[in-house]
Amino acid sequence: MQELVLIQPIRAAEDEWSREAAHAAKRREFEERLAECGSLAYRVARGVLRNDADAEDVAQEALLRAYRRFDRLRDAQRFRGWLVRIVFRLALDRARSVKRRERRETEWAQPARRASPPTAEELAASSEFQALFDRALEELPEKLRLALLLAAMEGHTLEEVAAMLNLPVGTVKSRLFAGRKKLAEKLQCYVTNTKTR
Protein backbone atom coordinates (compact mmCIF):
# COMPACT_ATOMS: atom_id res chain seq x y z
CA MET A 1 0.00 0.00 0.00
CA GLN A 2 1.34 3.40 -0.87
CA GLU A 3 0.42 6.78 0.47
CA LEU A 4 -1.28 9.00 -2.07
CA VAL A 5 -1.20 12.73 -1.76
CA LEU A 6 -3.79 14.74 -3.57
CA ILE A 7 -2.53 18.03 -4.91
CA GLN A 8 -4.86 20.62 -6.33
CA PRO A 9 -2.77 23.29 -8.01
CA ILE A 10 -5.65 25.73 -8.54
CA ARG A 11 -6.63 25.55 -4.91
CA ALA A 12 -3.02 26.14 -3.86
CA ALA A 13 -2.83 29.23 -6.05
CA GLU A 14 -6.09 30.50 -4.61
CA ASP A 15 -4.73 30.00 -1.11
CA GLU A 16 -1.63 31.93 -2.06
CA TRP A 17 -3.69 34.80 -3.45
CA SER A 18 -5.95 34.95 -0.45
CA ARG A 19 -2.91 34.98 1.84
CA GLU A 20 -1.39 37.81 -0.16
CA ALA A 21 -4.65 39.71 0.02
CA ALA A 22 -4.86 39.17 3.77
CA HIS A 23 -1.30 40.44 4.18
CA ALA A 24 -2.06 43.51 2.10
CA ALA A 25 -5.24 44.23 4.05
CA LYS A 26 -3.43 43.82 7.35
CA ARG A 27 -0.72 46.17 6.26
CA ARG A 28 -3.15 48.77 4.97
CA GLU A 29 -5.08 48.72 8.21
CA PHE A 30 -1.92 48.90 10.26
CA GLU A 31 -0.58 51.83 8.28
CA GLU A 32 -3.75 53.72 9.06
CA ARG A 33 -3.12 53.06 12.73
CA LEU A 34 0.49 54.07 12.35
CA ALA A 35 -0.48 57.44 10.92
CA GLU A 36 -2.83 57.90 13.84
CA CYS A 37 -0.69 56.59 16.73
CA GLY A 38 2.92 56.79 15.55
CA SER A 39 3.59 60.05 17.38
CA LEU A 40 1.93 58.72 20.53
CA ALA A 41 4.32 55.75 20.51
CA TYR A 42 7.29 58.04 20.08
CA ARG A 43 6.20 60.39 22.85
CA VAL A 44 5.60 57.63 25.34
CA ALA A 45 9.06 56.24 24.60
CA ARG A 46 10.61 59.69 24.78
CA GLY A 47 8.85 60.39 28.07
CA VAL A 48 10.47 57.36 29.62
CA LEU A 49 13.87 57.51 27.96
CA ARG A 50 14.67 61.23 27.57
CA ASN A 51 16.79 60.42 24.56
CA ASP A 52 15.64 60.98 20.99
CA ALA A 53 17.57 58.16 19.35
CA ASP A 54 16.61 55.60 21.96
CA ALA A 55 13.02 56.75 21.89
CA GLU A 56 12.88 56.42 18.13
CA ASP A 57 14.36 52.92 18.25
CA VAL A 58 12.01 51.77 20.95
CA ALA A 59 8.93 53.27 19.31
CA GLN A 60 9.82 51.64 16.02
CA GLU A 61 10.42 48.29 17.67
CA ALA A 62 7.11 48.56 19.50
CA LEU A 63 5.26 49.39 16.29
CA LEU A 64 6.83 46.41 14.55
CA ARG A 65 5.84 44.17 17.41
CA ALA A 66 2.34 45.52 17.25
CA TYR A 67 2.30 44.81 13.51
CA ARG A 68 3.42 41.23 14.06
CA ARG A 69 0.71 40.65 16.63
CA PHE A 70 -1.92 42.76 14.93
CA ASP A 71 -4.00 39.67 14.06
CA ARG A 72 -4.33 38.84 17.73
CA LEU A 73 -5.90 42.18 18.60
CA ARG A 74 -9.60 41.39 18.70
CA ASP A 75 -10.93 44.85 19.44
CA ALA A 76 -9.47 47.42 17.07
CA GLN A 77 -10.72 50.21 19.34
CA ARG A 78 -8.15 49.20 21.91
CA PHE A 79 -5.20 49.62 19.61
CA ARG A 80 -3.98 52.82 21.26
CA GLY A 81 -3.93 51.39 24.74
CA TRP A 82 -2.38 48.18 23.51
CA LEU A 83 0.35 50.06 21.68
CA VAL A 84 0.99 52.34 24.65
CA ARG A 85 1.51 49.34 26.90
CA ILE A 86 3.93 47.73 24.44
CA VAL A 87 5.92 50.96 24.05
CA PHE A 88 5.99 51.64 27.77
CA ARG A 89 7.22 48.16 28.59
CA LEU A 90 9.90 48.24 25.92
CA ALA A 91 10.98 51.72 26.98
CA LEU A 92 11.30 50.62 30.60
CA ASP A 93 13.43 47.66 29.52
CA ARG A 94 15.62 49.95 27.45
CA ALA A 95 15.94 52.45 30.30
CA ARG A 96 17.06 49.69 32.64
CA SER A 97 19.66 48.43 30.22
CA VAL A 98 20.90 51.98 29.58
CA LYS A 99 21.22 52.51 33.30
CA ARG A 100 23.19 49.28 33.70
CA ARG A 101 25.46 50.29 30.86
CA GLU A 102 26.02 53.73 32.34
CA ARG A 103 26.85 52.18 35.69
CA ARG A 104 29.38 49.88 34.09
CA GLU A 105 30.94 52.74 32.18
CA THR A 106 31.21 54.98 35.22
CA GLU A 107 32.88 52.19 37.13
CA TRP A 108 35.64 52.15 34.54
CA ALA A 109 35.89 55.78 33.63
CA GLN A 110 35.62 58.23 36.46
CA PRO A 111 35.03 61.61 34.78
CA ALA A 112 31.83 63.39 35.62
CA ARG A 113 28.92 62.50 33.36
CA ARG A 114 27.41 65.90 32.98
CA ALA A 115 29.35 69.05 33.42
CA SER A 116 26.87 71.79 34.18
CA PRO A 117 27.31 74.96 32.15
CA PRO A 118 29.52 77.13 34.31
CA THR A 119 28.34 80.61 33.33
CA ALA A 120 24.60 81.03 33.30
CA GLU A 121 23.13 80.57 36.73
CA GLU A 122 19.64 80.28 35.30
CA LEU A 123 20.64 77.52 32.95
CA ALA A 124 22.40 75.64 35.69
CA ALA A 125 19.34 75.88 37.86
CA SER A 126 17.17 74.68 35.03
CA SER A 127 19.33 71.67 34.20
CA GLU A 128 19.60 70.90 37.90
CA PHE A 129 15.84 70.94 38.11
CA GLN A 130 15.55 68.75 35.03
CA ALA A 131 17.91 66.18 36.51
CA LEU A 132 16.01 66.21 39.77
CA PHE A 133 12.70 65.98 37.98
CA ASP A 134 13.91 63.06 35.86
CA ARG A 135 15.10 61.22 38.93
CA ALA A 136 11.85 61.87 40.75
CA LEU A 137 9.84 60.65 37.79
CA GLU A 138 11.92 57.51 37.47
CA GLU A 139 11.36 56.69 41.10
CA LEU A 140 7.60 56.78 40.69
CA PRO A 141 5.72 53.48 40.40
CA GLU A 142 5.21 52.51 36.76
CA LYS A 143 1.44 52.76 36.80
CA LEU A 144 1.57 56.32 38.13
CA ARG A 145 4.26 57.30 35.69
CA LEU A 146 2.38 56.07 32.64
CA ALA A 147 -0.82 57.78 33.74
CA LEU A 148 1.03 61.06 34.28
CA LEU A 149 2.76 60.92 30.92
CA LEU A 150 -0.38 60.11 28.99
CA ALA A 151 -2.39 62.78 30.76
CA ALA A 152 0.32 65.35 30.14
CA MET A 153 0.27 64.73 26.40
CA GLU A 154 -1.54 67.41 24.48
CA GLY A 155 -5.06 66.60 23.47
CA HIS A 156 -5.58 63.73 25.86
CA THR A 157 -8.64 63.98 28.03
CA LEU A 158 -9.07 61.97 31.21
CA GLU A 159 -11.57 59.73 29.45
CA GLU A 160 -9.08 59.01 26.67
CA VAL A 161 -6.35 58.15 29.14
CA ALA A 162 -8.76 55.89 30.99
CA ALA A 163 -9.70 54.17 27.73
CA MET A 164 -6.06 53.70 26.78
CA LEU A 165 -5.19 52.21 30.14
CA ASN A 166 -8.42 50.24 30.24
CA LEU A 167 -9.23 51.70 33.63
CA PRO A 168 -12.15 53.62 35.13
CA VAL A 169 -11.84 57.40 35.04
CA GLY A 170 -11.86 57.52 38.83
CA THR A 171 -8.82 55.26 39.05
CA VAL A 172 -6.96 57.41 36.54
CA LYS A 173 -7.83 60.53 38.52
CA SER A 174 -6.53 59.05 41.74
CA ARG A 175 -3.36 57.88 40.01
CA LEU A 176 -2.77 61.34 38.62
CA PHE A 177 -3.35 62.91 41.97
CA ALA A 178 -1.03 60.49 43.76
CA GLY A 179 1.64 60.83 41.07
CA ARG A 180 1.66 64.61 41.09
CA LYS A 181 1.74 64.68 44.86
CA LYS A 182 4.72 62.34 45.04
CA LEU A 183 6.56 64.36 42.44
CA ALA A 184 5.80 67.56 44.31
CA GLU A 185 7.09 66.10 47.58
CA LYS A 186 10.35 65.18 45.91
CA LEU A 187 10.74 68.56 44.24
CA GLN A 188 9.71 70.56 47.30
CA CYS A 189 13.26 70.70 48.67
CA TYR A 190 14.58 72.00 45.39
CA VAL A 191 12.00 74.78 45.28
CA THR A 192 12.56 75.90 48.88
CA ASN A 193 16.35 75.76 48.45
CA THR A 194 16.30 77.86 45.32
CA LYS A 195 14.03 80.38 47.01
CA THR A 196 16.31 80.73 50.02
CA ARG A 197 19.44 81.10 47.85
Residues of the shown chain interacting with other proteins in the complex, contacts defined by CB under 8 A = 1-3, 19-20, 23, 27, 30-31, 34-35, 38-39, 42-43, 46-47, 50, 52, 55-56, 59-60, 63-64, 67-68, 129-130, 133, 137, 148-154, 177, 180-181, 183-184, 187-188, 191-192, 195
Comparison of 86 and 137: residue with beta carbon closer to other proteins:
137
Comparison of 71 and 107: residue with beta carbon closer to other proteins:
71
Distance CA 38, CA 46 (A): 12
CB of 3 to other proteins, least distance (A): 4
CB of 107 to other proteins, least distance (A): 28
Comparison of 1 and 112: residue with beta carbon closer to other proteins:
1
Comparison of 39 and 166: residue with beta carbon closer to other proteins:
39
Alpha carbon separation from 21 to 13, 18, 26, 136 (Å, rounded): 12, 5, 8, 49
176 Cβ partners below 8 Å, 6+ apart? 147, 148, 151, 158
SS3 per residue for 40-68: HHHHHHHHHHCCHHHHHHHHHHHHHHHHH
